[in-house]
């Protein structure tokens, strides 16, 4: 194996590990994440985006979930960091798919 191939293998292993770490951090199953994204898409198209998490919060309430249960830690800044700052930015990352 050449040095270039070894570095490529190491980079790919790191990327796989990071992808899995992000998947493991997601508190939602794939089905629930899809439901959340669909809900937000519908709400944003119907009433617009106000740069808040209100549509995501309404989805959580409709699912019988506490919004704080979806946070990595229990403060708004961390929730926003986890959810991509604003709802309109809450889109699945092809490299970090849900569980």
Domain boundaries, the chain: 3-89
pLDDT digit string (tens) for the chain, length 99 residues: 899 999 999 999 999 998 888 777 777 887 888 898 899 899 999 998 888 888 888 999 999 888 776 654 344 444 455 555 444 444 444 444 444
What pLDDT sits at residue 83? 53
CA distances from 36 to 5, 15, 18 (A): 40, 26, 23
């Amino acid at each position: 194996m050449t040095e270039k191939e070894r570095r490529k293998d190491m980079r790919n292993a790191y990327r796989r590990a990071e992808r899995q770490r992000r998947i493991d951090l997601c508190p939602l199953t794939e089905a629930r994440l899809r439901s959340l994204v669909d809900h937000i898409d519908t709400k944003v198209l119907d009433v617009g985006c106000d740069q808040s998490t209100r549509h995501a919060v309404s989805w959580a309430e409709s699912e019988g979930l506490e919004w704080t249960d979806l946070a990595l830690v229990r403060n708004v800044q961390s929730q926003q960091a986890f959810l991509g700052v604003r709802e309109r930015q809450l889109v699945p990352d092809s490299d970090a798919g849900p569980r």
